Chain A
Amino acid sequence: MTDDIPKLLRDSMEKNTFDIDVITKKLKLPWLKLDVKINSPSADQLQNFVSNKDWRKQWNCPEPENDSYQVKGWNGDVFFGPTDWAKFLSLANTIKNHHDHDEDSKCRSLRQNLDYSWYVDKDHFIRKEIEKLFPDDKDINLVNTYSLPPGGYVFPHRDYASDGLGLAKVYIALKWSKDNVFGMYGCGNMPVEEGDVFLLNNYTLPHWVYNGSNDDRIVVDVSANLHSPIIKQKIIESFRKVFSS
């Protein structure tokens, strides 16, 4: 560098490091495929992730109208989250415009107010895999599965968050057969293959899912502090690979 370059330009060129907040919050990218490998669960483990709980009841969602066709077969289970679920729901209902906010947003909002922990033991497949990315529980807000049977769908919609984030959800395609669709308005379909790990922005664009395969589709969703060292490095590496030099 020569000395006659203006200081602002020189500093910008020399000190322009990757900023995780710019990448995840400002750019509003629809998704970013992460260079992360997750072990494949056994068939028995996978079967356990097809939840028989009622996701809507668990989250205290209003009952849909009888003829509602916005969701078919959508379900899920929580593996890490608030330890006192009733208290969490009660507090979540006090968040301004809480009906508009998704589950991740509610868990993020109340992370400092309540105790959170794993609901499964140390040897559980999901816990072991997630702890590779997030060794410190304090960095995790929510770990849950989403299951969708053959023919199941979630209607086009947009999620909202109290903190207006962009890329926020770590999205792991645990079981993803061909003919599954994750569509994002104006961006085509997310190029998901089984085992892929994405960072997903479900807050900016309308999106939808459909399972056109003959198998259950199972996804693990992680809401976490993206400044946590391992995931932060993975995000920067993945971003650099696609967008930068």
Chain B
Amino acid sequence: MQIDLKVDCNFDKTAPMCVFGSKNNSKAQTLKRTNDIVLDFDIEPKDFLSISFINKDDEDDNVIFIKKILVDGIDLQHFLLKGVFTPEYNMDWFNKQDPKPPSAYVPCTELRHKGVWEIELTTPVWKMIMEGWLNDDR
């Protein structure tokens, strides 16, 4: 199943490196400032898509912005905001913080720490989107 990601990055010297993953697949990639990434992943009926930011450079303050994700040609739209980012904080930085930052961020489309962003995927994707609306009792 094709997954299309539009990802922007801020960096000066250290281009962000990512590992894109699902249950059965992973692909590492060094990112540019703007990126149109195409993944061909074998997505199971209950699966996930993850983006692991593996080379956060605190001096360079490189950042990844997740702009858009299409799965099987379907734009996840605002359901993208269900993605959870679990940071692996730089402990020197973490220990100086008061109050302490959260263990996870949701919604989150800006990866400003080393860590893993993950969103659940179920197929068929159109039905996943519909169920999202159905259960959205805002």
Chain B, interface size: which category? under 10
Report the stretch among B28-36, B93-101, B126-134 that lies at the interface.
B126-134
Chain A, interface size: which category? 10 to 19
Residues of B within 8 A of A205 (CB): 133-134
- B12 in the interface (beta carbon within 8 A): no
Is the CB–CB distance between A100 and B138 below 8 Å? Answer: yes
Q: Is the interface of B mostly helix, strand, loop or mixed?
A: helix
Is the CB–CB distance between A156 and B130 below 8 Å? Answer: yes
Is the CB–CB distance between B138 and A185 below 8 Å? Answer: no
Is the CB–CB distance between B129 and A158 below 8 Å? Answer: no
A97→B138 CA distance, assembly (Å): 9
Is the CB–CB distance between B138 and A156 below 8 Å? Answer: no
Residues of B within 8 A of A206 (CB): 129-130, 133-134
- B92 in the interface (beta carbon within 8 A): no
- A171 in the interface (beta carbon within 8 A): no
A156→B132 CA distance, assembly (Å): 11
Residues of A within 8 A of B59 (CB): none
Taken residue by residue from 56 to 94, chain B's Cβ proximity to chain A (1 for < 8 Å, 0 otherwise) reads as 000000000000000000010100000000000000000
Residues of B within 8 A of A70 (CB): 77
- A72 in the interface (beta carbon within 8 A): no
A70→B75 CA distance, assembly (Å): 10
Q: Which residue of B lies closest to A160 (CB)?
A: B138
CB distance from B21 to the nearest CB of A (A): 27
- A157 in the interface (beta carbon within 8 A): yes
A-B contacts, 23 listed (Cβ < 8 Å): A69-B75, A70-B77, A97-B138, A100-B138, A156-B129, A156-B130, A156-B133, A157-B133, A158-B133, A158-B134, A158-B136, A160-B138, A185-B130, A185-B133, A185-B134, A186-B130, A186-B134, A205-B133, A205-B134, A206-B129, A206-B130, A206-B133, A206-B134
Chain B interface (Cβ < 8 Å from any Cβ of A) = 75, 77, 129-130, 133-134, 136, 138
Beyond the given pairs A158-B134, A160-B138, 17 more chain A to chain B contacts, judged by CB atoms under 8 angstroms and listed by A's residue number, are A69-B75, A70-B77, A97-B138, A100-B138, A156-B130, A156-B133, A157-B133, A158-B133, A158-B136, A185-B130, A185-B133, A185-B134, A186-B130, A186-B134, A205-B134, A206-B130, A206-B134
